[in-house]
């Protein structure tokens, strides 16, 4: 993602930040020696232009490495601001692109531990360093001398002589500094810095509270409680219980990958309710790990800071540089979908209730029943059994399939490598190449484990660039599939398969980058544009060509029969009420929270309940991410006032996919080349709306999204 830690040493540093200024020459000799031995501070060595030294990491090294990285960045920044040369693109903007080399390497490994290898020891470091890193970021954004140089370049005659990519880079720096308050009075800057440090602490605490609840709450089942569960789920649950010292039992973990199949297949309604309530209560258990008070403070501080920065609301500031531009535009798209989505939920619930009545179940459909009865409806309407489909969805075969599609479309080749260190035995690495030329490395970490946050995500350990030579990218995909018993294939659901392809779309975005400046590389694009490459890549999973080759029965090895393929295609629009509504509810709550202009205290539980009621949220399903566990918007600011972006990108995706359909089909190499050249490889070197217009030949047609979801269009 875009480099957010632009670092500086101010000529006048507030006393509260002075302790961060750790100049190497001022350190004791013993400390300097320890620094030299700290593997995190050394340039990456080894093959492929150097690789992260994951096998040599010690948690004790993180704090001194981060502090040293910040000190080096401040030293470099002081050199920029102290220069007697007139500000220029080269001595100011390019110098800033180079100044974070050490800190970027340290943070790449630090972030990997935060997401995949967290522990009590690491969380203590994280809690201490979060406000320091926030203060460090503020030191650069509030450096008057630095901003003066950036502004001088932005307003200089040189600006017109720069390439479009260079002009956009200057504009990005200038705009980010202004948005952060570079033009504010000193007392305002100081207040913003204090708010940012407090927010950093709150974000870390929110995230760790959710992770604690995911690790702490596990449902252990006995053999007589396994009714309806597929054999592969039972095997995985037995393995998970055994790993936790409960051999002979079966563990339902408090993660989506474990919860979802359990609610889909378990015939034990009472257990379904318990598992559902436990999962959707993460961060909301009225104990020391409860996130509701944290949410209230986060929102109040964001609103207070936004007011200082001169924006109507946090959302207005957050969307200023996005494709949507305004909260009103985002809300318009969300509300365009909302009535159709909840109307479809009503139809889906009626279908489910009818089956429940027919079977003699004296129940009213509740949230813990939705997946279970939706599966029955799927069988009745489409004669499609999700568990039957799952027998053909082997994780490893699908991983091969996602590589294969990248080869067909973009000419990539992937070769497994074993000559690079990894941070856990589950992690494997592939070398990506095009036309025999090395492109980058892809790390794959697929399984759930203690210390790994839930969900699925892509990370960029190193962005592509040409500023410091031909630097190749290193990216990773991280998932939380439940590991099977030794020797047994891991079978995954259709939804999980889509997620697998989604995250690989992000990885391809990072691998395909072809830019000069690291701040513009790969996925460093507008938040509501970054999901386009990932969401469109999901579409290739459902193509007949790919499924014929890689959807192989785990026992017989036979390809998925055409009859089953046809059923999958016919059911493509099935359950869109549930899927659309659970997402839209989260996106609407996010946007409504962040369009509150005044800093006020809120009761998170009451706000969520009353806002959903006002929207006529169906009682039979929850938001996809309830507020106390909504890490997208409360563990950082990455998706705050930006969760809508998945829908915005989905509108782009639906329209872009129609470009393939209008051509020679999903593997049309001419359309694929245009997509690669104008979207995958461009990074942030041009305005995304312009890039999309060049790809499509026009602006996006949002009607394509309604058509894809099977909703009527006027």
Question: Using CA of residue 514, residue 519, residue 523, residue 527, what is the dihedral sign?
Answer: negative
Dihedral sign of CA atoms 168, 173, 178, 180 in order: positive
Q: What pLDDT does 5 receive?
A: 26
> Can you give the pLDDT at residue 37?
87
Domain assignment present for residue 52? The answer is: yes
What is the number of alpha carbons within 13 Å of residue 129 lying toward its C-beta? Answer: 23
Asked if residue 85 is part of any domain, the answer here is yes
- Do residues 226 and 175 both lie within one domain? no
Q: What is the pLDDT of residue 35?
A: 60
In order of 59, 133, 270, 510, the CA distances from 125 in angstroms are 8, 12, 41, 29
Each residue's pLDDT tens digit, 582-591: 999 999 999 9
246 in the same domain as 161: no
Tokens of 329: 């535009």
Residues 165 and 228 in one domain: no
Using DSSP's 3-state secondary structure scheme, residue 592 falls into helix
Contact 640, 318 (CB under 8 A): yes
- What share of residues in the chain are helix, strand, coil (percent, to 5)? 60, 5, 35
Centroid of chain to Cα 641: 14
Lookup result for tokens 């659970």: 582
In a domain, 649, yes or no: no
User: pTM of the entire structure?
Assistant: 0.86
Say if CB 200 and CB 160 are below 8 A apart: no
Angle at 691 between CA 545 and CA 525, to 5 degrees: 90
CA distance 6 to 16: 19
* Tokens 């979802």 found at: 260
**Three-class SS of residue 291?**
coil
Bridge partners, 559 (sequence order): 552
CB 92 within 8 A of CB 166: no
Q: Which two tokens stand for residue 417?
A: 């490598």
Last residue of a domain, one of 279, 295, 311: 279
Based on the fold, state whether residues 19 and 112 are members of the same structural domain.
Answer: yes
List active site positions. Answer: 503
Distance in angstroms (rounded) separating the CA atoms of residues 433 and 407: 10
Residue 108, Cα to own-chain centre: how many angstroms?
A: 15
CA 252 to chain CA centroid, nearest Å: 24
Answer yes or no: is 263 within a domain. yes
Residue 576 main-chain phi, psi, to 5 deg: -70, -25
DSSP labels, 515-532:
-SSGGGSTT-S-HHHHHH
What is d(CA 155, CA 159) in angstroms, rounded to the nearest whole number? 7
Give pLDDT tens digits for 316-345. 999 999 999 999 999 999 999 999 999 999
Q: What is residue 490's predicted lDDT score, i.e. its pLDDT?
A: 94
Domain boundary among 279, 311, 330: 279
Distance CA 23, CA 78 (A): 12
Q: Which of 235, 254, 279 is the last residue of a domain?
A: 279
* b/e sequence 477-497, b meaning 16+ C-beta within 10 Å: bbbbbbbbeeeebbbbbbbbb
Closest CA to 126 of 213, 195, 62, 34: 62
Residues 116, 169, single domain; the answer is yes
Same domain, 20 and 105: yes
Let me know whether 167 and 225 are in one domain: no
Does some domain include residue 72? Answer: yes
**Do 249 and 115 lie in a common domain?**
no
Report the C-alpha gap between 79 and 74 in whole angstroms.
9
Report residues of the chain scoring pLDDT below 50.
1-31, 33
Say if 508 falls within a structural domain.
Answer: no
Nearest to 644 by CA among 336, 353, 345: 336
Q: Residue 712's pLDDT is what?
A: 63
Number of domains in the chain: 2
Q: Are 87 and 222 in a shared domain?
A: no
User: Is the same domain home to 226 and 133?
Assistant: no
**275 and 157 in a common domain:** no
Nearest Cα neighbor of 681 from 693, 695, 669, 667 is: 695
Nearest to 405 by CA among 540, 503, 509, 513: 540
Using alpha carbons, select from 652, 666, 625 the residue that is nearest to residue 295.
625
Q: What is the DSSP string of 680-701?
A: ITTTTSS-HHHHHHHHHSS---
Q: Distances in Å between the alpha carbon of 15 and those of 6, 10, 21, 27, 653?
A: 20, 12, 11, 19, 50
Which residue, among 111, 125, 156, 93, has the nearest Cα to 636 in the 3D structure?
111
CB-based burial of residue 584 (10 Å sphere; 0-12 exposed, 13-18 middle, 19+ buried)?
buried
Tokens of 21: 């200024």
Cα–Cα distance measured from residue 550 to residue 416, given in angstroms and rounded to the nearest whole number: 18
| DSSP per-residue codes, 44-101 | P-SSTT----GGG--GGGHHHHHHHHHHHHHHHHHHHHH--SPP-IIIIIIHHHHTTH
Same domain, 40 and 133: yes
pLDDT of residue 34: 52
Using alpha carbons, select from 262, 295, 294 the residue that is nearest to residue 279. 262
Identify the pLDDT of residue 708: 84
Rounded-to-integer distance, Cα 513 and Cα 234, Å: 42
CATH of the domain at 82: 1.10.1370.40
For tokens 């013993």, what's the residue? 30
Give a yes or no: residue 599 inside a domain: no
469: which 2 tokens?
Answer: 């030579």
Q: Which domain holds residue 89?
A: 15-141+143-179
Q: Which residues of 92-124 are buried (b: 16+ CB within 10 A; e: fewer)?
A: bbbbbbebbebbbbbbbbbebbbbbbbeeebbe
Q: Which residue has the tokens 């030329």?
A: 437
Q: Within a domain: residue 27? A: yes
């Amino acid at each position: 993602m875009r480099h957010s830690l632009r670092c500086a040493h101010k000529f006048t540093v507030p006393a509260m930040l002075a302790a961060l200024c750790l100049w190497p020459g001022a350190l004791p000799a013993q400390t300097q020696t320890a620094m030299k031995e700290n593997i995190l501070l050394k340039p990456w060595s080894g093959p492929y232009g150097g690789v992260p030294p994951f096998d040599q990491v010690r948690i004790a090294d993180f704090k001194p490495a981060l502090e040293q990285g910040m000190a080096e960045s401040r030293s470099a920044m002081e050199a920029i601001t102290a220069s007697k040369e007139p500000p220029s693109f080269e001595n100011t903007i390019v110098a800033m692109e180079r100044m974070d080399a050490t800190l970027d390497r340290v943070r790449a490994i630090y972030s990997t531990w935060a997401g995949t290898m967290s522990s009590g020891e690491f969380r203590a470091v994280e809690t201490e360093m979060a406000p320091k890193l926030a203060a460090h970021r503020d030191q650069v954004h509030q450096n008057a001398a630095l901003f003066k140089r950036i502004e001088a370049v932005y307003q200089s005659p040189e600006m017109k002589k720069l390439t479009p990519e260079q002009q956009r880079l200057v504009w990005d720096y200038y705009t980010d500094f202004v948005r952060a308050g570079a033009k504010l009075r000193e007392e305002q800057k100081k207040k913003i810095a204090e708010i940012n440090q407090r927010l950093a602490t709150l974000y870390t605490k929110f995230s760790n509270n959710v992770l604690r609840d995911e690790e702490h709450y596990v449902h252990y089942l006995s053999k007589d409680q396994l009714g309806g569960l597929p054999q592969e789920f039972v095997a995985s649950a037995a393995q998970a219980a055994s790993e936790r010292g409960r051999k002979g039992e079966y563990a339902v973990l408090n993660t989506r990958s474990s919860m979802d199949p359990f609610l889909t297949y378990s015939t034990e309604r009472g257990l379904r309710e318990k598992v559902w309530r436990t999962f959707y209560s993460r961060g909301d258990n009225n104990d020391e790990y409860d996130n509701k008070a944290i949410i209230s403070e986060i929102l109040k501080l964001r609103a207070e800071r936004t007011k200082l920065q001169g924006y109507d609301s946090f959302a207005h500031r957050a969307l200023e540089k996005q494709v949507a531009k305004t909260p009103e535009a985002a809300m318009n798209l969300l509300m365009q979908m909302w009535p159709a989505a909840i109307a479809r939920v009503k139809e889906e619930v009626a279908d489910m209730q009818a089956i429940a009545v027919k079977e003699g179940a004296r129940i009213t459909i509740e949230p813990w029943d939705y997946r279970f009865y939706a599966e029955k409806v799927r069988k009745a309407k489409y004669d499609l059994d999700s568990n039957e489909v799952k027998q053909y969805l082997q994780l490893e075969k699908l991983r091969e399939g996602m590589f294969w599609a990248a080869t067909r479309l973009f000419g990539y080749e992937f070769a497994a490598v074993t000559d690079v260190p990894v941070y856990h035995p589950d992690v494997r690495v592939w070398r990506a190449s095009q036309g025999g030329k090395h492109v980058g490395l892809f790390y794959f970490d697929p399984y759930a484990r203690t210390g790994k946050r839930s969900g699925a995500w892509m990370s960029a350990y190193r962005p592509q660039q040409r500023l410091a030579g031909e630097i190749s990218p290193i990216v990773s995909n991280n998932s939380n599939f439940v590991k099977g018993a030794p020797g047994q294939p891991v079978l995954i659901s259709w939804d999980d398969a889509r997620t697998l392809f989604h995250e690989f779309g992000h990885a391809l975005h990072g691998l395909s980058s072809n830019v000069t400046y690291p701040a513009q590389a790969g996925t460093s694009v507008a938040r509501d544009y970054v999901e386009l490459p990932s969401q469109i890549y999901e579409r290739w999973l459902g193509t007949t060509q790919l499924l014929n080759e890689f959807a192989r029965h785990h026992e017989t090895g036979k390809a998925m029969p055409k009859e089953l393929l046809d059923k999958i295609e016919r059911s493509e629009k099935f359950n869109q009420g549930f899927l659309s509504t659970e997402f839209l509810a989260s996106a609407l709550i996010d946007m409504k929270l962040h369009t509150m202009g005044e800093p006020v205290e809120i009761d998170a539980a009451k706000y969520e309940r009353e806002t959903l009621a006002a929207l006529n949220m169906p009682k039979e399903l929850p938001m996809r991410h309830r507020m106390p566990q909504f890490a997208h918007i409360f563990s950082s600011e990455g998706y705050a006032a930006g969760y809508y972006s998945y829908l915005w990108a989905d509108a782009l995706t639906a329209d872009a996919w129609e470009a393939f359909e209008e051509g020679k089909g999903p593997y049309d190499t001419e359309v694929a080349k245009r997509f690669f050249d104008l979207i995958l490889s461009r990074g942030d070197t041009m305005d995304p709306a312009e890039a999309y217009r060049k790809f499509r030949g026009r602006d996006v047609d949002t009607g394509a999204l309604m058509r894809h979801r099977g909703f009527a269009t006027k």
